[in-house]
Amino acid sequence: MWHRWCVSSIPAAADVLDPDVPVLPLPDVAIRLDQPITRVHQALRDHHLIAVRRRGVLMVPAEFITDDGDVVKGLPGTITVLNDSGFSPDEVIRWLFTADDTLPGRPIDALRGDRGREVKRRAQALAY
């Protein structure tokens, strides 16, 4: 039985994103991925996606989903590497959306642009 005092088992980062970064509520993520909402919840629990809590609502950055309705290739692996390196969900979000002159651009843009290997290499280097 669900009570208002229960804490959701779905992890979420604080909203560390720029307010201009588009985000999607979880039901919209499920529609875009053509998956039941329970699969979206599982992807968040498994750290294949990260949600932020914006105005009390769990939201996923829209840039995590491709125009074809898939999770951006390389994103789950990058999140895993950063988590294993001790990054908090807030830090993972910040890292993905912060410009890196050596990429160039933001890591999320590089992942969307099929430069996932380079992003993952940089994420692995942060562990050392």
pLDDT surpassing 70 at residue 128: no
> Burial level of 89, CB count in 10 A (0-12/13-18/19+)?
buried
Tell me if 5 is assigned to some domain: no
Tell me if 95 is assigned to some domain: yes
Q: Are 37 and 26 in contact (CB under 8 A)?
A: yes
Tell me if 2 is assigned to some domain: no
Tell me if 121 is assigned to some domain: yes
The whole-number pLDDT of residue 40 equals 96
Tell me if 4 is assigned to some domain: no
Tell me if 47 is assigned to some domain: yes
Tell me if 3 is assigned to some domain: no
Domain that holds residue 32: 12-126
Number of folded domains that form the chain? 1
Tell me if 29 is assigned to some domain: yes
pLDDT surpassing 70 at residue 4: no
Instruction: Give the tens place of pLDDT for each residue, 60-98.
Output: 999 999 999 999 999 999 999 999 999 999 999 999 999
